[in-house]
Each structure stands twice: as structure tokens, then as C-alpha cells.
Amino acid sequence: MQLLETIFQKREMFQNLALLLWNSFGIVASLLQEIIVVYPALSPPTLSLGASNRVCNALALLQCIASHSETRTHFLQARIPLYLCAFLETDDKAKQFEYLRLTSLGVIGALVKVDDPKIINFLLENEFVPLCLHNMTIGSELSKTVATFITEKIVVDDAGLAYVCANADRFYAVGAALATVVTSMVDQPSKRLLKHVIRCYLRMSENPRGFAALQTCLPPQLKDGTFNSCLRDDPSGRHLHQQLLVKMTSGKKGGGAGNSAGRMSWG
């Protein structure tokens, strides 16, 4: 679809492209078809770079719809994000699959930027958290960054925080994914990604059980100065990091003494 690529390239020129796309006859249905025709190529992985580019153009247009205040609600009501789950679940490391996952994450990222509890609830109900953790674990730095950003937005929401800290399995799954991200940054730190991670930990520590669990599972690299040079030139990052360290060592949140923390800890 040459037209798809043309619209994609010129999308910045249109102020209300999202409204045009949503309200034109058959456009969204056509974009959905672009998505489902590549499903057979996901497993076994036979996706070509050309096919990946084509479906990513369609996803970019869907991201326009997800970003616009007037079309976002319709986008959710039509359950469009659920057709991206199959892309986010893939684990092939090839460039065309990585690009597909990154673009899919971009659509979800556009949804969570506005801090709307209804959107967070939609993602929780439809099990997007495991998909974000999956991409934090296997993705490139850019995919890790977008996936961690989404996870941060989820835990910043009250319902999201409750969801993550609801039981030990979920909490440790999130913790493990964050730890994987931290480990992956030891050799090549990313300031932006590191700040997303720290914000996740800070938010999780606001939950009493989360605070207790983090006493034991916070990655050592965040405490032993591994990332000091990375954040040296970033005041806000340094502030976040110090905030996290102070909270973890003072034992304030969680109600005082070690006994209380021990009592609330899992296992």
C-alpha cells in the first residue's frame, strides 16, 4: 500500500490527521487488516523487513489516533490495542521483529502519556503488564525504555500500584524485569532508562509490602555507586537516586522499626 507509506511520511503536516483517519470510511478497518495479515508470519518467524515496515506504518497511524484527545476513547472502546498483543509477545531478536515490537510499544506509550486511570485500568484488565515486562527483558535499549516508561505510568497510578503489589508473584516479576534492565545498563548506562527504573522503584516503595520486599531485592548496582558517573551531570536523576537510597536505608515507609518491616515481608 504505497498510500499507507505516503500518509505515514506526511503525517506531521496534518494537525488533525487522527480525526481524519478515525472518521473516514474504512480507514481503521484497513489498518486492522494490515495487522492481521502478518499474524501468520510471527510463528514460525518468517516476517520480512518489507512486511515489517508496512505494518509498522499502519501502527504509526494508529498511534496518531491513540495520541489524539478526541479519538483516544474510541480507540480504546474498539479494543484496537488488543490486536497488538501478538506483536508484543514475539521474542525473535531480528531487526524486523524488534522494530515491530518497538512500534507496538509506541502505540501503548501514546495511550499512557495522559495519566488517565481508565486507560491504566484497560491495560491492567487485558494483561499488558506481562507484555511490558517481556519487552523490558528481551528488548533493545529503546524498547526497554518505552516498556519501562509504560510500566512506570502503570505503577504511578493507584490501581496499577495495587495490582503490582497484590501478591508476591506479580511483585517479583516486576522486580525481576527491572533488575534485568539495571543489569543490562552496567556496561552502557542510559540516563533516561535509569531514571524510569528509579521512578518505578520509588513508587513501589510507597506500598508497605513493596517497601519491605525491596529491602531484599533492590539491585546492588543501585546502591554501590555503579551509576554515579552516569547521573553526575543530571541533577534530577541524581536527586531521584538519592531519594531512593535515603528511603531504602532509613526504613521510614513501612512504619518504623525492622520488626514491622519483617512482619510485612513476603515469605
Query: Which lies closer to other proteins via its Cβ, residue 40 or residue 117?
Result: 40
The least CB distance from residue 90 to other proteins, in Å, is 10
The least CB distance from residue 209 to other proteins, in Å, is 23
The least CB distance from residue 71 to other proteins, in Å, is 11
Give the whole-angstrom CA distance, residue 150 versus residue 180. Answer: 16
Q: Which residues bind other proteins (CB under 8 A)?
A: 22-23, 25-26, 28-30, 32-33, 36-37, 39-40, 42-43, 74, 77-80, 82-83, 86, 89, 125
Query: Which lies closer to other proteins via its Cβ, residue 43 or residue 48?
Result: 43
Give the whole-angstrom CA distance, residue 230 versus residue 141. Answer: 16
The least CB distance from residue 5 to other proteins, in Å, is 17
Query: Which lies closer to other proteins via its Cβ, residue 76 or residue 194?
Result: 76
Closest by CA position to 119, among listed 83, 85, 69: 69
The least CB distance from residue 82 to other proteins, in Å, is 5
Q: Please give, one letter per residue, the 3-state secondary structure of the chain.
A: CHHHHHHHHCHHHCCCHHHHHHHCCCHHHHHHHHHHCCHHHCCCCCCCHHHHHHHHHHHHHHHHHHHCCCCHHHHHHCCHHHHHHHHHCCCCCCHHHHHHHHHHHHHHHHHHCCCCHHHHHHHHHCCHHHHHHHHHHHCCHHHHHHHHHHHHHHHHCHHHHHHHCCCHHHHHHHHHHHHHHHHHCCCCCCHHHHHHHHHHHHHHCCCHHHHHHHHHHCCHHHCCCCCHHHHCCCHHHHHHHHHHHHHHHHCCCCCCCHHHHHHHCCC
The least CB distance from residue 52 to other proteins, in Å, is 16
The least CB distance from residue 31 to other proteins, in Å, is 10
Query: Which lies closer to other proteins via its Cβ, residue 72 or residue 247?
Result: 72
Query: Which lies closer to other proteins via its Cβ, residue 134 or residue 238?
Result: 134
Query: Which lies closer to other proteins via its Cβ, residue 10 or residue 79?
Result: 79
State phi, psi for 266 to the nearest 5 degrees.
Answer: -75, 140
Query: Which lies closer to other proteins via its Cβ, residue 103 or residue 205?
Result: 103
